[in-house]
Structure 1
Amino acid sequence: MNFELLVIGTGSATPVLEHNPSAYLLTYDNEQFLIDCGEGTQFRILEYKVRSSRIRHIFISHLHGDHYFGLVGLISSWNLNQRKEDLTIYAPKELAEILTIQFKHSHTFLHFKINFVATNPNEPLLVLDNQLLSVESIPLVHRIDCCGFLFRTKAAKRKLLAEKLPENFPIPYIKMLKDGLDVEDELTGKIYKSEDYTTIGTPSRSFAYCSDTAYNEQMVSQLQDVNTIFHEATFVESELKRAEYTNHSTAIQAATIAKKANAEQLIIGHYSSRYKTLETHLTEAKQVFENTHLALEGVTYKL
């Protein structure tokens, strides 16, 4: 099944024409998960021809405007389009109050239900667990409460080699084989070994989204062996003092986290508006972690 990330916005707080504010769309199978929702996200969704009706879960890392100012507009547009399907938002608890006030004073009455799951900035929290995947929050270090999100797909059951089985093989036995269990035919005494009649299913994949954060080795244990990490890289190393002052990271620091976590690949983004090109970000990160990619808007990355 496809597991991929569409980059919608890579900018930081100060708006620039080159970069839209933070927003990313994670797709797994036919489900889509919006991660952060900066100003103008709904326009980029239209531009990239995203079927937004599939978005049933939105994850907001923190309440700096470049990460959520597009949310009210997106929800309002869905409401105008007569959306009926429930929406679940995972975010700092204060966002529920913000949305309530916005809709109250605009006399907006939603045609669909919003479920709200509050994140905990102090410890990891399992916020979603369904048949497809699980999501844990990742406590980050920023100027206000902030959480990243760790997505893990569920490993698929073993795949049946149906052509090897006799006709009319009992369905309960098929289920046992796919669960990795051996089966004994009570009539014949024959043993059907799972490894002989099935193949390994799709293994679990993982993606960690680490939005605005200072360099934080405490999260390495939670990120250990993650397949792909997105980590903010607001600054290059010459602005290390600025990164420390604002609780952001440099490209080298992002790469160091990926290396310590033994990740497979790193995607960096959330670029400061002071940079006209991103070559130095990529060069510096690759010195530490070779399999680093720049987050480029409109590009889809396989996870």
Structure 2
Amino acid sequence: MLGTYLEASRDLCETDSILFGAALAVCRIIDAKLSTAGSATGQSSAIPAWRIRIEERITKARALIGRLICFRSGNTRPRIVRTVRMAFAGTNVVYVPAGYNAKTDGAHNLKQRIAAWGKRIRRYTERSTRFNQNSLFQSNQKRLYKSLERPIVSGTGPAPNQADTVAFWRSPWSEPINHNEGPWTEVVASQYVGITPMDPVIITPDDVAEAFRRAPNWKSPRLDGLHRYWLKGFMVCHAVLARQFQEALNQKSLPSLFTTGITHLVPKDQGATDPSKYRPITCLPTTYKTLTSILSARIARHLDSNQVMSRALNKWLIVASK
């Protein structure tokens, strides 16, 4: 069925919609859990359930300690008295407004419980951190070392002013700038006039399949929610995507859907309010990233075959040192 629909597809946008519909149909058939639109899958940064439960206990215990202190000071309002009686019903705790013993009124025990719960949170957090670091060391050592050198910055602080942010990021994209790279670029360009030009790119289904094979399955998609996992499994789409990628290259145009996305600002520093202290990140569709991956691999092979990269770098270092 998917092959029939793909053969009738007119452009990349329609192909993307067909593939998403096929992925959604499979999920419904096997009764798989679906994420909400726009939410990223994979490792979640949400607070784990066990920590939420312990923090709720700590909050309730602190509220009860406050009621006990009020009751101890002589506050006998019905709400306070009712809370104290309900908290210690069935226990040997004696609660009277006067003559309190700090170790028998319940508050002391609650404080000890809070301290124990706090130690449990720290112990569980340290264990979880060690487990995640060990797993990351097995899969991606470079990412682990970066995380150790650069602390994670949380974006829960005050947000920058919206008008200032729009004005800051509109400036570099709206105002034309004439860049002057310096004389060294002309020197390097003159040295490589005889470099063999790159042949026209011809995209084949094998190129598409190889691009999917190298890519991770569950990287964050765009709002369409189409992951590479489905593009790997729907092998019938490889030939269609190769044909439509080639048509886009020949026409030198791409659908606006592939180059438009929601930009998220990630803070570089904790509690930053200056728009320049944020890093913009835009997640584009998976099919578009597949096309750029194919072109990048083709360019890298061309540069490697001509040994352009190493010679250009050495030449640049010589010119820069002068």
Give the TM-score normalised by structure 2: 0.22
User: Which protein is richer in helix relative to its size?
Assistant: 2
Indicate the structure whose relative CO is greater, using CA pairs within 8 Å and at least 6 residues apart.
Answer: 2
Structure number with bigger Rg? 2
User: Which protein is richer in strand relative to its size?
Assistant: 1
